[in-house]
Structure formats: C-alpha cells, structure tokens
Amino acid sequence: MRLSKPQSEVFRDDTRFRVMVAGRRFGKTHLAIVELVRQALLDNKRHCWYVAPTYKAAKQIAWELLKEFLPLEYIEKRNESELSIRLLNGSMISLKGADNPDSLRGVGLNFIVLDEFADMKNTAWTEVLRPTLSDKGGSALFIGSPKGRNHFYDLWTDGVDGRDEWSSFQFTTLDGGNVPEKEIESAKRDLDERTFNQEYMAQFVNYSGIIYYNFEREQSVKKSEAHSLMPLHIGVDFNINPMSAVVFIRDKNDLHAVDEIVIHGSNTDEMADEIHHRYPNRPITIYPDPAARQRKTSAGGKTDLSILENAGFTVKVRPAHTPIRDRINAVNSRLKTKSGDRHLIVDPKCKHVIKGLERHTYKEGTSQPDKDSGFDHMNDALGYCVDYLFPVRKESTQRKPTRWT
C-alpha cells in the first residue's frame, strides 16, 4: 500500500489517540481508509468505525473509497443501506454520522476514525464515542482541517503538550504531495492571508473580534460607475424582519456592490416586486439562502425558491448550506487577497452593507458569528452570492487509494 511520507508517519505511530491536522487535499480520507482496514484486519471480530460530521458526508466521502480499496477476498458481506462491511475474520467496518448521536451509542469499539472533527460537536466524542472505547481499550484517529481554535485545537494541543496516550501531527497541503506547488501559489494570490494559512498551511487561526477583518472603508468603499446595461447578481437572505438583499455587478473576477434592499416585516413576494420595481428589464440572477428550497415566507404554500423562479429571475442556489466559515472566508478573500488585491468593492450608498462588514463580530468565546447584533442578515445575503460565484472550497476529484496487495 502506497502512502506518502507524512501519511506513513501517522500510520506507523502506535499512540492510542492520534490527532492529525492537515491542509486541503493532503489525503486525509485516503489515510483514514487505509488505517480503518488495517485496524479491522489486526485480529478477529474487531469493530471499527469511520465517523463523519453527517451520515450523508460519510457516504459521499468514504464509502466508495472504502469499497475501492478493500479487496473482495476479505469481504464476507457488504450492506449498502447501512454502510457496513463484515470481513471474513468476523470484523465489522461501519460508516456513521455524528449528526445522529443515538446511532453511536451502545457498541463496544476497537477503533474509530473521526473525520473533520472540527465540524462535529465536541460532545459526540466526550459523551458518546469515548465511552465506546473503554471496555476494549480501543483507539482513535482524529483528522481534519483546522476551523479556528475550537475543540479540535484542544485535542491537538494535548498531543503537542505531551499528554499521556496522545500524539499530534500537522502537515501542509504541499506536504501531502497531491497538489502542485504552482496551484498552491495560485491559491495564495486568490485567498486572504488568514484563509490561506488555515486551508493550505493547516494553521489554527484565532477567530475573534471583527469577522470581516479585510474590509477597510478607505480601500473597499468606492462610488460605482454607470451600470444600467450590465446584468445584476443579487444575494438574498430570507428573514421576515428584515428581508435583505445585496445587488452586485460583476466584471470578471471583481464584484461591486451597487445597491442594497432592506424591507422590514416583509416576504419573498414583496422582495421580488421591489427588485422588479428598481431594475425593470434587466437580466437578474438571484443567489438565495439554500433554505429557499423548503422555506415559505409568503402565504399560499409556495417555497421562496418557486416564488423567485415564477417572478422570472434566474436562480442559482446550492443544494445545501455551505459552512458559515467557508462563506466568511470567501468574502474575506474577495475583500483582500494575501497579495493585497481587492476584488469586492462597496458603493457608499450601501450603508447597511458597510455597517455590517465593519461591525459584525464573533460571539464571545466561540468561532460563530454573533446573530444577536442584527448585522448577520445583510452579511448572509452578501455571502450567499460571493460564495456561489467565488467559493473557497471547490469540488475536485479525490485520489483513490491503491488496494493493499
């Protein structure tokens, strides 16, 4: 089985609890699958789990990789509906989601992989999974990219500080050998410094204070030029009080927020009418909250998405919410890249947008935005559009692990 040198370092370590933080595309899941199979083959009748933040993620990220890697001659039975494989030696490999804690209880385990642990609640480990290892003296491998200094950071520091039974590892994207250096240099130009350091250098960035730290009024606020013939891109947040929208024009890689719409005590029908009133006969694309697929802020039983489509707008929406952290990083990376370029400019008339970017902070003691301040609605509207057009996380093909021969 081929592993990179950094992956092999983690693979050979026999510490009971290993914590590996690594940059994007390092090959974290690749390593997880190899270790999962190895643990299941160590002895007969072992129980080994792979746990992702959600059951859906476990299926999308690891199931096909596991089937691709595990030789058929080792398999007794494969259960597609339960995402489990029983081996001929009696061992069981199962894929689980931390979004359903009750499904994780009551089983004694020999080994667990917790993939993207920063995206799980800490209680999934402390209250549910840690006890499952006690009767068999089981072990665990925590892997993921950093998401600020949260519970994943706490476990990583346990290994760094030499806590008994814990070891920690930290690798950059480049260390993994899956992403060429020129692509990493390109990302450095496109992303802001904090985002690049977190996503590619695997650094635990301290998120506190102002969220949109790259917004500078002197550099980011400029009067827009005439745009009466240009297509409009509008981010919309469906909150009844207020309904919020940010209107952009796009020039290649640049976005210019040229207008904002704030309607108190409103609904989606009224927002659609207001957009048509302000911008008749303009090509308009709406980037709404993904909840628009189910949410109904207007009477009549229609979803927000169907209302926008029936109003004649082109609607582009993700199938599910992007993590808040990724939306924030996308906006910060447009506001100012690591190389100092600015690709998001705000017109002075957008007073709510400016105020939100200047004043929105993290909730004290957390890496989550403060939703009690009132600044989140306009920033969410802005983020839905920016993240769709210029996402920090782009879909890419995962390198499949080579079978163990």
Q: What is the set of domains in the chain, with CATH numbers? A: 5-199 (3.40.50.300), 217-389 (3.30.420.280)
Helix axes 376-389 and 324-335, enclosed angle (nearest 10): 80
Residues 6 or more apart whose CB falls under 8 angstroms from that of 110 comprise: 39, 42, 46, 47, 48, 133, 136, 138, 139
How many whole angstroms separate alpha carbon 322 and alpha carbon 240?
A: 22
Q: What is the pLDDT of residue 347?
A: 94
Average pLDDT over residues 360-386: 88
- What is the pTM (predicted TM-score) of this model? 0.66
How many whole angstroms separate alpha carbon 369 and alpha carbon 398?
A: 31
Average pLDDT over residues 43-67: 93
pLDDT digits (tens, 9 = 90+) for 342-368: 999 999 999 999 999 998 998 877 778
Q: What is the pLDDT of residue 141?
A: 98
CA 376 to chain centre: 18
The larger pLDDT score, comparing residue 303 to residue 19, is at: 19
